[in-house]
Amino acid sequence: MITQKMKYALKALLVLGDEAAKGQPEPLTIEEIARRSGTPKRFLEHILLEVRNAGVIASVRGRAGGYSLIKKPSDVSISELLRMIDGPIAPLPCLSRRAYQRCEDCADEASCRIRKVFAEMFWSYLVIIESLTLEDMLRSDAAAHQVLGA
């Protein structure tokens, strides 16, 4: 399950991605991003700072300032965003590639039935989540609007 913070980050990035698709987008203020994404401004500021520090978006100060997407949507990995915002994505610490920890109550990982079952599910999930990008989300959003006639 993703956190509300991650949902807010994705909603903001979708707004910035839509703006980037226009060709020469103007930076959007945090107020405008919050309005378009339906995200509370007070949470968005901290989230956008994290995303900016990761090199996905840029901020411009001043009257005409705001935020804009600086990476191509196809280069914005959803799994990397998940890890950055929510931390490790593995369901068990012993399955994490980047934050591995042996489970305290486990005598033998090789024979742990809990680990085996969750490993199968997690590897299937990883194949999908590792392939997703912001571009995929923007494309699926555009397709949904076409289907709904919006």
pLDDT tens for residues 28-61? 999 999 999 999 999 899 999 999 999 999 998 8
**15: which residues sit within 8 A by CB, 6+ positions away?**
28, 33, 36, 37
Q: Dig out the tokens for 44 from the structure.
A: 């968005």
Domains along the chain?
4-73 (1.10.10.10), 89-132 (no CATH)
pTM score of the predicted model: 0.83
Q: How far apart are CA 25 and CA 57, in angstroms?
A: 13
**28: which residues sit within 8 A by CB, 6+ positions away?**
15, 16, 19, 36, 66, 67, 68
pLDDT tens for residues 103-120? 888 888 888 998 999 999
The position carrying tokens 């703006």 is: 19
User: E strand or H helix at 52, and its extent?
Assistant: helix 41-53
